């Protein structure tokens, strides 16, 4: 998608938090990325290193926590896992699914100094 | 540009604004509504001791959405639209789906009824804004430079200059791109995806995020259907597979076929945007 701009967004949050939380260096960043968020983890890693260069998070390590895509199947009346938005229910084959989770792109935690 | 979008940093240009971003790119806003983890600055070693020369790494819980900044700008825009009874529609599509032609025709047909203004997003040139202005509507061009989408911050600045009228219609023509604009809320009431029948009928499942985010899909250029091998039913089925709630209207901005349905949808959405709004006379 636009992983480079997302990394810029991450950097902004890191810089804001540096003031409120009182740290000057970020050593590790944990991101939660859902399977349906449209974010390509490899592109994110590439963009991350480039964007963080020369900032408070220079050479910080990026840890990506993958979250599965979740949907509610109306036919089965229960939650199921899906890998993409256009997928059918893995159990009954119905497309009557309501995506309930997996579109996260969230900064979860930092290791700072 | 100093919002979440870094892909065109400093290159965004809004017509008529010398927006030099003298407030710098690296903001240190303190937003009260941001979740802020609570930490104490004690050492994490045994007995929480500060040992000189030793690393004092600590963990900070953030739990903040990467797009939270953009979402704040979008919320501000949405609030502005609400207060002024403005119906704002974010038009998204691939390049060449006929967005601008659809818009010029729509404006031509509706300008007697509503005040209409347009925010045009393109990487370069003010051609589209000029096409819109030729219809008599207020238009403002945003050039995103290298950026691939409009974001909430750019639209907020555009509103300062454009000043859409109370109770008016605002069209935001996003950069032609079926991927990135899906994630960036601009504060609009609805995203409207435009798909032309000269594109593949499987576009909704090829670019699912966009069709998932849209409330309405306009299937454009249907006057060309006799010359094409395009399965309308299958296309609609794909779109509904991604988004069971999506509405689909078939039309041709060139011949005018089906445009009435689109105008009805606009009128209904505008009413919904204005119901109970004391700022807008009924």
Structural domains in chain B plus CATH codes: 69-272 (3.40.50.300)
Tell me the per-residue pLDDT of A14-59, one tens digit each, with 9 for 90 and over: 999 999 999 999 999 999 999 998 888 898 999 999 999 999 999 9
Domain spans in chain A, listed from the N-terminal domain onward? 3-68+102-112
Indicate the SS3 state at residue B51.
coil
- Strands (E) in B231-275, as ranges, are 247-250
| ipTM over 0.90 threshold | no
Q: How far lies B148's CA from each of A5, A66, A102, B101, B242, in Å? A: 10, 26, 24, 21, 23
Q: State the burial class of residue A88 (Cβ atoms within 10 Å of its Cβ: 0-12, 13-18, 19+).
A: middle
Which residues of chain B lie closer than 8 angstroms to A1, CB-CB?
Answer: 179-180, 183, 209
Using CB atoms, which residue from A7, A95, A109 is nearest to B61? A109
What string of pLDDT tens digits covers the 282 residues of chain B?
333 334 444 567 887 776 444 444 444 444 444 444 444 444 444 455 455 556 678 998 888 888 888 899 999 999 999 999 999 999 999 999 999 999 999 999 999 999 999 999 988 889 999 999 999 999 999 998 877 889 899 999 999 999 999 999 999 999 999 988 988 999 999 999 999 999 999 999 999 999 999 999 999 999 999 999 999 999 999 999 989 899 999 999 999 999 999 999 999 999 988 887 776 655
> Cα(B38)–Cα(B22) distance, rounded to whole angstroms?
32
> Cα(B78)–Cα(B277) distance, rounded to whole angstroms?
14
- Could you tell me which CATH number the domain at A3-68+102-112 has? 3.30.2320.50
Q: Do residues A80 and A89 lie in contact, with contact meaning Cβ atoms separated by under 8 Å?
A: yes
Which residues of chain B lie closer than 8 angstroms to A57, CB-CB?
Answer: none
Which residues of chain A lie closer than 8 angstroms to B69, CB-CB?
Answer: 9, 12-13
Which tokens is A39 given?
Answer: 């974010």
Q: How far is B179 from chain A (nearest CA, A)?
A: 6
Pairing of β B116-122 and β B169-173: parallel
Q: Which residue has the tokens 């938090």?
A: A17
Measured in Å, how far apart are chain A's first and last C-alpha atoms? 31
Q: Do residues B181 and B95 lie in contact, with contact meaning Cβ atoms separated by under 8 Å?
A: no
Sheet holding A26-34, edge to edge: A61-67, A26-34, A105-112, B58-65
Q: Is A73 annotated as a binding residue?
A: yes
> Cα(B91)–Cα(B178) distance, rounded to whole angstroms?
11
CB pairs under 8 A between A and B: 130
Q: Please report the residues numbered 54 through 113 in chain A whose beta carbons come closer than 8 angstroms to any beta carbon of chain B.
A: 84-86, 95-96, 98-99, 104-113
Angle at which helix B152-162 crosses helix B68-83, to 10 degrees, equals: 30
> Cα(B23)–Cα(B35) distance, rounded to whole angstroms?
24
Which residues of chain A lie closer than 8 angstroms to B62, CB-CB?
Answer: 13, 17, 107-110
Using CB atoms, which residue from B34, B69, B242 is nearest to A85? B242
Using CB atoms, which residue from B29, B57, B240 is nearest to A111? B57
Q: Is A66 annotated as a binding residue?
A: no
Q: Please name the residues in contact with B263: beta carbons below 8 A apart, sequence gap of 6 or more.
A: B106, B109, B110
Q: How far lies A88's CA from each of A37, A38, B63, B247, in Å? A: 18, 18, 31, 20
Residues for chain B: how many in total?
282
Which residues make beta-bridge pairs with B13?
B143
């Amino acid at each position: 998608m636009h992983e480079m701009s997302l990394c810029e967004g991450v950097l902004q949050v890191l810089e804001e938090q540096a003031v409120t939380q009182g740290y000057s260096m970020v050593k590790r960043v944990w991101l939660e990325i859902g399977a349906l968020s449209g974010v390509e983890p490899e592109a994110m890693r590439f963009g991350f290193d480039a964007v963080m260069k020369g900032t408070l998070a220079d050479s910080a390590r990026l840890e990506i926590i993958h979250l599965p895509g979740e949907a509610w199947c109306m036919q089965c009346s229960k939650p199921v896992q899906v890998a993409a938005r256009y997928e059918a229910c893995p159990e009954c084959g119905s497309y009557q699914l309501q995506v309930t989770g997996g579109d996260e792109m969230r900064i979860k935690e930092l290791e700072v100094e | 540009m100093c919002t979440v979008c870094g892909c065109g940093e400093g290159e965004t240009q809004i017509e008529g604004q010398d927006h030099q971003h003298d407030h710098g790119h690296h903001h240190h806003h303190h937003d009260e509504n941001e979740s802020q983890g609570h930490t104490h600055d004690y050492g994490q070693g045994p007995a929480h001791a500060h040992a000189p020369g030793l690393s004092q790494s600590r963990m900070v819980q953030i739990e903040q959405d990467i797009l939270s900044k953009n979402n704040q700008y979008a919320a501000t825009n949405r609030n502005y639209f609400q207060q002024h009874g403005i119906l704002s529609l974010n038009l998204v599509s691939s390049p060449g789906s006929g967005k601008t032609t659809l818009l010029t025709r729509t404006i031509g047909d509706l300008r007697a009824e509503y005040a209409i203004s347009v925010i045009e997003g393109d990487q370069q040139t003010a051609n589209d804004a000029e096409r819109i202005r030729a219809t008599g509507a207020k238009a403002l061009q945003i050039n995103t430079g290298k950026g691939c989408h409009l974001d909430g911050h750019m639209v907020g600045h555009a509103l300062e200059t454009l000043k859409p009228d109370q109770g008016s219609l605002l069209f935001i023509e996003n950069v032609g791109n079926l991927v990135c604009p899906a994630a960036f809320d601009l504060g609009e009431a609805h995203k409207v995806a435009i798909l032309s029948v000269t594109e593949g009928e499987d576009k909704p499942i090829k670019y699912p995020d966009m069709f998932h985010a849209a409330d309405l899909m306009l299937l454009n250029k249907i006057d060309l259907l006799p010359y094409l091998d395009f399965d309308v039913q299958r296309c609609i089925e794909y779109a509904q597979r991604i988004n069971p709630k999506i509405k689909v209207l078939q039309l041709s901005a060139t011949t005018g076929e089906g445009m009435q349905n689109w105008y009805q949808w606009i009128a209904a959405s505008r009413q919904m945007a204005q119901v109970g709004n004391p700022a807008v006379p009924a």
